[in-house]
Amino acid sequence: MRFPARGFTLLESLIALAVFAIMSIAAYSGLRSVLFTRAAVEVQSQRLAAVQLTLFRIEQDIEQAIPRGIRDEYGEPQAALFGGELTSDRLTLTRAGWDNPLGQPRANLQRVAYRFREGRLWRLHWDVLDRGGLNEPRETLLLEQVREFRIRFLDQADWRNEWPSATTGTDGDPKALDALPRAVEISLTLEDWGEIIRLLPLPS
């Protein structure tokens, strides 16, 4: 006895296609969400790495600051460390421990500065300490989306917004130009993460 061949009806085919379409949409939505989440995590990870590197560079420079002033392009003496909100470079200092992996004929001291410009924080350094007419700084972009970059200096027991401060008495005393604060407080306000504050002591 033979049974007649029987396939899917039109209604059954439509139901199967509808179920397949729903499952496909759900799978695509899940995959899209996973991809977006992964991209957001990668962006945040890169941002975190940039912030951490910036703070590390600042901390390393400040903690290795030394009392060694320089002479500028005009031969005028400059303080070993100076800065403040009214200066073009918020912080300028001489630091030790400049790595020399290639064994170049240079000192291990380095003059560095931090410049805040149009929402970006830059690190500048000079190849030699005492500047000549051709000794232009090299700039490195550290961080973007910066709303504010402020620095304070601890002078004995008081905080100052500028350094050298009036109490250091640098007028007529070249040695006073080498005076360093006891500590430096940096405040970095980011557009996405808010304010980050670090208190960094200087070498005794």
Cβ–Cβ under 8 Å, residues 106 and 124: no
Element holding 151 (H helix, E strand): strand 146-155
Considering its fold, how many domains does the chain have in total?
1
Tell me whether residue 113 is in a domain. yes
How many CB atoms lie under 10 A from the CB of residue 195? 11
What pLDDT digit, counting tens, does each position of 38-92 carry?
777 788 899 999 999 999 999 999 999 999 999 888 888 999 999 988 777 899 9
Tell me whether residue 18 is in a domain. no
Q: What is the mean pLDDT of residues 91-101?
A: 83
Cβ–Cβ under 8 Å, residues 113 and 122: no
Tell me whether residue 39 is in a domain. no
Band of pLDDT at residue 20, cut at 50, 70 and 90? confident
Tell me whether residue 156 is in a domain. yes
Tell me whether residue 19 is in a domain. no
Domain interval for residue 84: 59-201
**What is the CATH classification number for the domain harbouring 89?**
3.10.610.10
Tell me the residue ranges of DSSP E strands in 59-143. 70-71, 77-78, 81-84, 91-95, 110-117, 120-126, 138-143
Tell me whether residue 111 is in a domain. yes
Tell me whether residue 52 is in a domain. no
Q: In the predicted model, is pLDDT for residue 133 greater than 60? A: no
